[in-house]
Chain A
Amino acid sequence: MKNVRLFYKKGGRMRFISHLDITRFMARIIKRAKLPVWFTEGFNPHPYITFALPLSLGHISEYDIMDIRLCDDDYDIEKLPETLNAICPDGIRFFKAAEPKLKTAFVAFAQFEIEFDDKGELLKPLSDFLKSESIEVSKKTKKGDIKTFDVKPKIKDFSLNENGNTVLKITLPAGSEENINPELILTAFFGSGVTNYSCYTVTRKSILDKDLNLFE
Chain B
Amino acid sequence: MDEKRFEQLLLSVQKPGRYSGGEINSVIKDKNKVDVRFAFCFPDTYEIGMSHLGMKILYSLFNEREDIWCERCFAPWIDFEKVMRENGIELFGLESREPIKNFDFIGFTLQYELSFSNVVNMLDLAKVPIKAKERTALSPLVVAGGPCACNAEPLADIVDIFFLGEGEKVDLEVIDLYKSFKEKNGSKQDFLRAAAKIEGVYVPSLYDVSYNDDGTVKSVTPKANAPKAVRKRVEKNLDDTYYPEKFVVPYIEIVHDRAVQEIFRGCIRGCRFCQAGYIYRPVREKSIDTINRQAKALCENRGYDEISLSSLSTSDYRNIEPLLNELISWTEKDGISLSLPSLRIDNFSDELLEKISGVRKSGLTFAPEAGTQRLRDVINKNITEQEIISTCRTAFKGGYTAVKLYFMMGLPTETDEDIKGIADLAQKIVDEYYSLPEKPKGKAVNVSISVSNFVPKPFTPFEFWPQITREEMVRRQQYLKECIHSRKIIFNYHENRTSFLEGVFARGDRKLGEVIIKAHEKGCKFDGWDECFDLDKWLEAFKECGINPEFYANRMREYTEVFPWDHLDYAISKDFLIKQNELAKKAQTTEHCRKKCALCGANVFGEGVCFEKR
Q: Does B186 contact A (CB under 8 A)?
A: no
Contact B304 A16 (CB under 8 A): no
B255 shortest CB reach to chain A, Å? 15
Contact A32 B252 (CB under 8 A): no
Given that A31-B305, A58-B11, A89-B22 are known contacts, is A17 also in contact with B251, CB under 8 Å in the complex? yes
Q: Which of B2-10, B140-148, B161-169, B551-559 contacts A (4 or more CB under 8 A)?
A: B2-10
Nearest residue (CB) in A for B360 is A44
Q: Does B341 contact A (CB under 8 A)?
A: no
Q: When chains A and B are docked, how far (Å) is the Cα of A201 from the Cα of B11?
A: 10
Q: When chains A and B are docked, how far (Å) is the Cα of A74 from the Cα of B251?
A: 32
Contact A16 B302 (CB under 8 A): no
Give chain A residues whose Cβ lies under 8 Å from the Cβ of B303. 27-32
Q: Does A36 contact B (CB under 8 A)?
A: no
Q: Does B23 contact A (CB under 8 A)?
A: yes
Q: Which of A13, A22, A39, A46 has the most CB of B within 10 A?
A: A13
* Interface residue range, chain B: 20 to 34
Contact A25 B251 (CB under 8 A): yes
Q: Does B528 contact A (CB under 8 A)?
A: no
Grouping DSSP codes into helix (H, G, I), strand (E, B) and loop, the A interface class, with mixed when no group exceeds half, is helix
Give chain A residues whose Cβ lies under 8 Å from the Cβ of B19. 16
Give chain A residues whose Cβ lies under 8 Å from the Cβ of B253. 20-21, 24
Give chain A residues whose Cβ lies under 8 Å from the Cβ of B22. 12-14, 89-91
Q: Does B54 contact A (CB under 8 A)?
A: no
Nearest residue (CB) in A for B300 is A32
Give chain A residues whose Cβ lies under 8 Å from the Cβ of B215. none
Give chain A residues whose Cβ lies under 8 Å from the Cβ of B20. 13, 16-17
Among A85-120, those with CB < 8 Å from B are: 87-91, 117
Q: When chains A and B are docked, how far (Å) is the Cα of A20 from the Cα of B4?
A: 24
Q: Does B24 contact A (CB under 8 A)?
A: yes
Q: When chains A and B are docked, how far (Å) is the Cα of A194 from the Cα of B544?
A: 50
Q: Does B398 contact A (CB under 8 A)?
A: no
Give chain B residues whose Cβ lies under 8 Å from the Cβ of A12. 22
Given that A29-B303, A89-B22 are known contacts, is A18 also in contact with B335, CB under 8 Å in the complex? no
Contact B5 A21 (CB under 8 A): no
Q: Does B16 contact A (CB under 8 A)?
A: yes
Contact A21 B11 (CB under 8 A): no
Give chain B residues whose Cβ lies under 8 Å from the Cβ of A201. 4
Interface string of A31-67 (1 = CB under 8 A from B): 1100000010000011000000000011000000000
Q: When chains A and B are docked, how far (Å) is the Cα of A18 from the Cα of B4?
A: 19
- Quick one: which of B7, B23, B301 contacts A89, CB cutoff 8 A? B23
Nearest residue (CB) in B for A13 is B22
Nearest residue (CB) in B for A29 is B303
B residues at A contact (CB < 8 Å):
4-5, 7-8, 10-11, 16-17, 19-24, 249, 251-253, 301-305, 335
14 new A-B contacts, CB < 8 A, other than A18-B17, A89-B22, are A12-B22, A13-B22, A14-B22, A16-B7, A17-B251, A21-B251, A25-B251, A29-B303, A46-B305, A58-B11, A87-B24, A117-B4, A199-B5, A199-B8
